[in-house]
């Protein structure tokens, strides 16, 4: 319960209010702003503090990770690393999938070469298993961009082949995402679209929707026809700012390596999405303190939840 009204009822009431508003034709997809040469102060004032996504074109072009990392480089140096494969968001179900497959990075790379899109290494712990690799990023800049009174400095690597994807979802963390290798396409939807996206209330701090911006079903999700959808394509050296509670769907256009740097800032979250923030703090599946405890090891969270299911 939030403010005396159950979240599902709150979303239903919001949908009803929106239905009575004048409708418009389907909005064309807009591009996320792409900028070069923005000062840190301008970036913080115009985008982080306002909770607006932006692509910092070429921001990381000179970082060692962008200059050096590739699939062959990963195989040569870290091929025997243990990798946990999991996709919590089933594109055809409202249920959270807690299954975790244990394999090696070499096997993931083999599957990528064979076109097997089931082997997508999400939330990879590469920078925790090999902490010296953090030096391949401008970690001082990343840390400086965190909001005031923030919690967490979490590094998560994503390694996937052409065609791998993650369906529409959102969470209450800021994310500075560095595209290290390959191209990755993103769709975005603003937090205020929660009511139209009908996210299942599963008591988790992670939210997802069956709406697919790539092939939108406006009969099933009529409100999305008049909701603005955004998109961008990241190339090596680009850094994307993904604010809290912005819905996003991701598709690897080529074999891709990316790294997300995340932090949690309560005041920013409340400003962006009060209901989503309340649901996050009141989550029991897992509780927010468990999610925080294992924020550097998402697979451990899903194994824990699987054992309780």
Output the average pLDDT for the chain. Answer: 90
Average pLDDT over residues 236-251: 98
What is the structure's pLDDT at 174?
Answer: 97
What's the pLDDT tens digit per position in 166-196? 999 999 999 999 999 999 999 999 999 999 9
What's the pLDDT tens digit per position in 122-137? 999 999 999 999 999 9
CB crowding 173-190: b at 16 or more within 10 Å, else e: bbbbbbbbbbbbbbbbbb
Strand 54-56 to 34-35 pairing: parallel
What's the pLDDT tens digit per position in 254-286? 999 999 999 999 999 999 999 999 999 999 988
Average pLDDT over residues 59-68: 98
Distance CA 126, CA 113 (A): 20
Model confidence at 115: pLDDT above 80: yes
Distance CA 23, CA 243 (A): 27
Residue whose entry in the numeric block shows the structure tokens 């962008």? 66
Model confidence at 55: pLDDT above 90: yes
Burial label for 131, CB within 10 Å (0-12, 13-18, 19+), is: exposed
What is the structure's pLDDT at 97?
Answer: 72
Q: What are the structural domains, with CATH classification, of the chain?
A: 26-308 (2.60.120.650)
What is the structure's pLDDT at 88?
Answer: 73
What's the pLDDT tens digit per position in 74-106? 999 999 999 999 887 765 666 667 788 999 999
Percent of the chain with pLDDT over 90: 75
Distance CA 249, CA 227 (A): 15
């Amino acid at each position: 319960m939030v403010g005396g009204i159950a979240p599902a009822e709150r979303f239903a009431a919001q949908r009803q209010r929106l239905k009575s508003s004048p409708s418009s034709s389907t909005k064309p997809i807009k591009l996320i702003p792409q900028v070069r040469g923005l000062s840190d102060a301008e970036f913080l004032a115009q985008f982080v503090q306002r909770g607006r996504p932006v692509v910092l074109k070429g921001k990381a072009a000179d970082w060692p990770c962008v200059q050096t990392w590739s699939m062959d480089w990963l195989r040569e140096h870290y091929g025997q690393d243990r990798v946990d494969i999991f996709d919590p968001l089933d594109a055809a179900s409202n249920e959270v999938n807690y299954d975790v497959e244990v394999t090696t990075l070499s096997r993931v790379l083999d599957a990528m070469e064979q076109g097997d899109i089931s082997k997508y290494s999400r939330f990879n712990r590469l920078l925790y298993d090999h902490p010296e690799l953090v030096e391949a990023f401008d970690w001082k800049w990343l840390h400086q961009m965190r909001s005031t009174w923030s919690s967490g400095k979490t590094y998560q690597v994503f390694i996937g082949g052409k065609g791998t994807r993650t369906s529409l979802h959102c969470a209450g963390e800021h994310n500075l995402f560095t595209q290290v290798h390959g191209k990755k396409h993103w769709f975005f939807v603003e937090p205020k679209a929660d009511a139209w996206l009908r996210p299942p209330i599963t008591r988790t701090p992670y939210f997802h929707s069956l709406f697919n911006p790539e092939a939108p079903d406006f009969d099933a999700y009529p409100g999305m026809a008049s909701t603005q959808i955004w998109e961008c394509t990241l190339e090596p050296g680009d850094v994307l700012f993904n604010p809290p509670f912005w819905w996003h769907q991701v598709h690897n256009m080529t074999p891709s390596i990316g790294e997300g740097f995340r932090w949690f800032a309560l005041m920013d979250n409340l400003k962006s999405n009060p209901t989503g923030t309340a649901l996050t703090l009141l989550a029991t599946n897992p509780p927010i303190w468990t999610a925080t405890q294992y924020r550097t090891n998402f697979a451990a969270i899903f194994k824990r939840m699987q054992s309780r299911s």
